[in-house]
Structure 1
Amino acid sequence: MKEASGDLDAIANLIEHAPEGFSVYSGDDSLTLPLLSIGGTGVVSVASHIVGNEMQQMVRNYLAGQVTAAAMQHRQLLPVMKSLFTAPNPTAVKAALEMKGVKVGPVRLPLVPLTAEEQQHLQSIVQPSINFFVS
């Protein structure tokens, strides 16, 4: 199940009372690590379109018991995660993919492209992160 309510208490209750083999995935990138810590399985991720390898490594580190490394990665990824939701999805992620050189085309109505100001803000967060994580 993809869980995107943001209510960790309710998610913990769901996990606690779920039948064996029932998996709960975070539907909110920024709650991936907290959800894993209460028994979640993984994430249905928007940020992974931009920093997929880094998200995967964060989850792998957590599952391998390298909690400090996973927490550090989470903190580093958080600005990217948050910046992708400054406009209705998938507007910002499409813009970020274009910044990364992936041609995805414009959003369709009723969505509208980012304003120049929103585009500049997104680029100020995403572009340094892309350069940081690539190296």
Structure 2
Amino acid sequence: MDEKLLNAMIDEARLGNKVDGSWITQAYNNMVLHLHESGFTTVTKNNVKNRQKVLKERWRDVHHLFSSLSGFAWNSLSMRFEAEDEVWSDLIKAKPTAAKWKFTTIRHYDLMEELWGADRATGSGVRIAR
């Protein structure tokens, strides 16, 4: 379902149904309809909102971890960020919580990056709420 939802979200964003970072009501209606047509007939607008929140949080964690690091590359076949063992070792020493991403796949990261990657601020003065 995640892949269907993310593709529906990308389609809605391309149609301009996301205003100031928020989906318009019609976008949610279209996403729910798309999921119903794909066989997920019990999905509601609240399900879409909750799943988006979970997916975006996962993407955000990974994106913030790897976007500023060198030596790591996204592999769409293995669905993981890959690097030499030495590079992983250095990262894990600095951030022990990153160890799980050495073996944990991140399904549909490329779709999440397409959907939310352009919305992220970058630069030396960037601050995040967390």
TM-score by length of 1: 0.31
Larger radius of gyration: 2
TM-score by length of 2: 0.32
